Chain A
Amino acid sequence: DAKTTQPPSMDCAEGRAANLPCNHSTISGNEYVYWYRQIHSQGPQYIIHGLKNNETNEMASLIITEDRKSSTLILPHATLRDTAVYYCIVRVGYGSARQLTFGSGTQLTVLP
C-alpha cells in the first residue's frame, strides 16, 4: 500500500473549517484514500473514503487532486469534539483482507 505524509499537528478555531492535507504521491490506480480519526483513548473511527471523485458525507468532505497524489479532508464547521488524531490511509479497497496500516497522523486541536 502507498505511503502517506501528513503534518504532525494543526490548530483550528471552533466553528471554522478544518482542512487536513495528505500527500500520497505513490498511490496506485486501484488504491483508495481512507480517513480515520482517533479521539483520545478511543478506537479509531472511520470518516470517509474515495477513489478519485470528491466525496461528502455527514461528517466531512474529501477532495482528491486530479493526479490523485494528494487529498484534503475538510471538516466544514469544526467543534471542540473534533479534536483528535486524523489518519490518512491509502490501500486497495476491496478483495481479500489486507493490512490497514496507520501512519503518524495529524493531531488536530480545535481551539475555543
Chain B
Amino acid sequence: DTEVTQTPKHLVMGMTNKKSLKCEQHMGHRAMYWYKQKAKKPPELMFVYSYEKLSINESVPSRFSPECPNSSLLNLHLHALQPEDSALYLCASSQDAGIAFFGQGTRLTVV
C-alpha cells in the first residue's frame, strides 16, 4: 500500500467555522508533511512531523493547528480562516527524508 489518503476531497467553510482535514498512511513512514498550494504556484511547506512530534513549523498562522495523534494519522485543524486561505492542502509522508508520497489533496474554499 503506497497510498496517502486525504479526506475530505473538497471542503467549503465559513470564516467562523471550525473544521479538520485528515491524512492517513499505512506505509510505516515516520515523517509527515502539510503543504498549501495556491493556483499556478508550487506547494508551500507548512508543517513537518517527525516521529509524531512537530519538527518544522514554517511560521504558519495559529488559525492552522496540526496534530499527529499516531504514526499513521495527521490532522490539520482549521479555525477562523480567511478567504485567502482557500487553496489545495496536500499531505505527504516519507521514510525519514527519503522519497515522499503525496495525497490527492483537499480543495478548501473559505467563504
State the A residues within 8 Å of B (CB). Answer: 34, 36, 38, 41-46, 49, 85, 87, 91-105
Contact = CB atoms under 8 A, between A and B. Distances in A.
A34 B59 CA distance: 25
Contacts, number: 70
Given A95-B96, A96-B97, A44 B50 contact: no
Nearest to A103: B42
Interface stretch (B14-22, B70-78, B101-109): B101-109
Contacts of A91: 97
B43 interface: yes
B102 A44 contact: yes
Interface string B76-111: 000000000000101010101111111111010000
Contacts of A105: 42
Given A41-B105, A94-B97, 11 more contacts: A36-B100, A41-B88, A41-B107, A42-B104, A43-B102, A49-B99, A92-B97, A94-B98, A97-B30, A97-B97, A98-B97
Interface of B: 4, 30-31, 33, 42-45, 48-50, 55-56, 58, 88, 90, 92, 94, 96-105, 107
Given A96-B97, A99-B48, A99-B56, A43 B42 contact: no
Given A44-B90, A97-B49, A104 B42 contact: yes
B100 to A, nearest CB: 5
B102 A45 contact: yes
Q: Which of A42, A49, A99, A100 is the most central at the interface, judged by chain B CB atoms within 10 Å of its CB?
A: A100
Given A46-B99, A46-B100, A92-B97, A97 B56 contact: yes
